[in-house]
Chains A and B, each alone.
Chain A
Amino acid sequence: MRKHQIGVREVTSIGIIFVITKIFLPFQRSLSEAGGTAAWMIALIAAVLSPLTWWAIRGILRNATQGSTLIDATEEIWGPFLGTLLNLAYFCFFFTISFLVLREFAELLCSDILPRTPINVMLISLLLPISVVAHRGIETLGRLCWVAVGLIVGSVIIVLIGGLLTHAEPKALSPFWGTGMSNVLKTGIVKSSLFSEMLVFGFLLPRMRKSQQWGRSAWWCMAISAFTIFSTTIVYLFVFPYPTAIRLNVPMFEMSRLIIFGRWIQRLESVFLITWLISAVLKLAIGLYCSAASMSQILRLPKFQPLVFPLAILAYGFALLPGSEMTAVAWDGDLLRTYGSIFSIALPMMTWLAFIVRRGKKKQS
Chain B
Amino acid sequence: MKGWHKLKKYVMADLSQDSSSYASFSLGHWEAEATAEDSESTLEQAPAKMPRVDPLWGEEGPLLIEISLNDNLDWLKRRFSYPLNSGLVIRPLVIGGGSLEGAVIYLESQVDWQYLSRTVVQPLIAANLPGDPPLDVQMLTLRILTNSHATTTTYLGDIEQNVLNGSAVVIVDRLKEAVIVNVEDEEKRALESPKTENVVRGPQVGFTENLQTNLSLIRRRLNTPDLIVESGVVGKISRTRIAIVYLKTIANVELVNEVRTRIAAIQIDYVGDSGMVEQMIEDSPNSIYPGMLNTERPDRTAGQIADGYVGILVDNSPFALIVPANFPLFLQTSEDAYLRWQYSSFIRIIRTIGFFMSLYLPALYVAIANYHHEMIPTTLILAIAGTRESVPLPVAAEAFLLESMFELIREAGVRIPSVIGPTIGIVGALILGQAAVQANIVSPIVVIVTSATALASYTIPNYNMQFTTRILRFVYLGCASFLGLVGVVLLSMMLWANWAASNRFGVPNLAPIAPYRPSEDTLLRAPMKLQSSRPLSVRPRKTRKLPDVQGDAPSLPPEQGETRP
Residues of A near any B CB (own CB < 8 A): 1-10, 109, 113-114, 117, 122, 125-126, 128-129, 132-133, 136-137, 139-140, 142-144, 146-147, 207-209, 263-264, 266-271, 273-274, 277-278, 281-282, 301-303, 306-307, 309
Q: Is the CB of B375 within 8 A of A7?
A: no
B390 at the interface (CB under 8 A from A): no
A7–B512 alpha-carbon span in the complex (Å): 13
Residue picked from B13, B372, B490, most chain A C-beta under 10 Å? B490
Given the complex, which residues of B lie within 8 Å of A143, measured CB to CB? 31, 500-501, 508, 510, 514-515
Q: Is the CB of B17 within 8 A of A273?
A: no
Q: Is the CB of B490 within 8 A of A281?
A: yes
Residues 23-41 of B, flagged 1 when their CB comes within 8 A of A and 0 if not, give: 0111011111100000000
A275–B513 alpha-carbon span in the complex (Å): 19
Q: Determine how close the nearest CB of chain A comes to the CB of B462; give it in whole angstroms.
A: 21
Q: Determine how close the nearest CB of chain B comes to the CB of A272; give it in whole angstroms.
A: 11
Within 8 A of A (CB), among B1-48: 10, 13-15, 17, 19, 24-26, 28-33
Residue picked from B14, B485, B489, B497, most chain A C-beta under 10 Å? B497
Given the complex, which residues of B lie within 8 Å of A208, measured CB to CB? 32
Q: How many residues of B contact A (CB 8 A)?
A: 42
Q: Is the CB of B484 within 8 A of A114?
A: yes
Q: Is the CB of B15 within 8 A of A306?
A: yes
Q: Is the CB of B508 within 8 A of A274?
A: no
Given the complex, which residues of A lie within 8 Å of B484, measured CB to CB? 113-114
- A140 and B500 contact, Cβ closer than 8 Å, known pairs A4-B31, A128-B490, A209-B33: yes
A301–B17 alpha-carbon span in the complex (Å): 11
Q: Is the CB of B375 within 8 A of A140?
A: no
Q: Determine how close the nearest CB of chain B comes to the CB of A314; give it in whole angstroms.
A: 15
With contacts A7-B33, A270-B375 known, what are 9 further pairs, Cβ within 8 A? A6-B32, A10-B31, A113-B484, A114-B486, A128-B494, A129-B494, A136-B498, A208-B32, A264-B377
Q: Is the CB of B28 within 8 A of A2?
A: yes
Residues of B near any A CB (own CB < 8 A): 10, 13-15, 17, 19, 24-26, 28-33, 368, 371-372, 374-375, 377, 483-487, 489-491, 493-494, 496-498, 500-501, 508, 510, 513-516
Q: Is the CB of A137 within 8 A of B501?
A: yes
A268–B15 alpha-carbon span in the complex (Å): 46
Q: Is the CB of A132 within 8 A of B374?
A: no
A274–B491 alpha-carbon span in the complex (Å): 12
Q: Is the CB of B485 within 8 A of A136?
A: no
Q: Is the CB of B514 within 8 A of A147?
A: yes
Q: Is the CB of A144 within 8 A of B371?
A: no
Q: Determine how close the nearest CB of chain B comes to the CB of A149; give it in whole angstroms.
A: 11
Which residue of chain A has its CB nearest to the CB of B25? A1
- A263 and B493 contact, Cβ closer than 8 Å, known pairs A136-B498, A209-B32, A302-B15: no
Q: Is the CB of B489 within 8 A of A301?
A: no
- The one of A4, A9, A271, A277 in contact with B486, judged by C-beta atoms closer than 8 angstroms, is A277
- The one of A140, A207, A269 in contact with B501, judged by C-beta atoms closer than 8 angstroms, is A140
Q: Is the CB of B31 within 8 A of A144?
A: no
A245–B431 alpha-carbon span in the complex (Å): 55
Given the complex, which residues of B lie within 8 Å of A129, measured CB to CB? 490-491, 493-494, 497
- The one of B17, B31, B368, B486 in contact with A7, judged by C-beta atoms closer than 8 angstroms, is B31
Q: Is the CB of A268 within 8 A of B508?
A: no
- A269 and B24 contact, Cβ closer than 8 Å, known pairs A143-B508, A277-B486: no
Q: Determine how close the nearest CB of chain A comes to the CB of B346; give it in whole angstroms.
A: 22
Given the complex, which residues of B lie within 8 Å of A278, measured CB to CB? 489, 493
A7–B514 alpha-carbon span in the complex (Å): 11
Given the complex, which residues of B lie within 8 Å of A267, measured CB to CB? 374-375
- A133 and B494 contact, Cβ closer than 8 Å, known pairs A7-B515, A140-B501: yes
10 A-B pairs with least C-beta separation: A306-B13, A143-B514, A140-B501, A136-B501, A270-B372, A6-B31, A209-B32, A1-B24, A5-B32, A129-B493
Q: Is the CB of A303 within 8 A of B15?
A: yes
Given the complex, which residues of A lie within 8 Å of B30, measured CB to CB? 4-5, 139
Q: Determine how close the nearest CB of chain B comes to the CB of A8; give it in whole angstroms.
A: 8
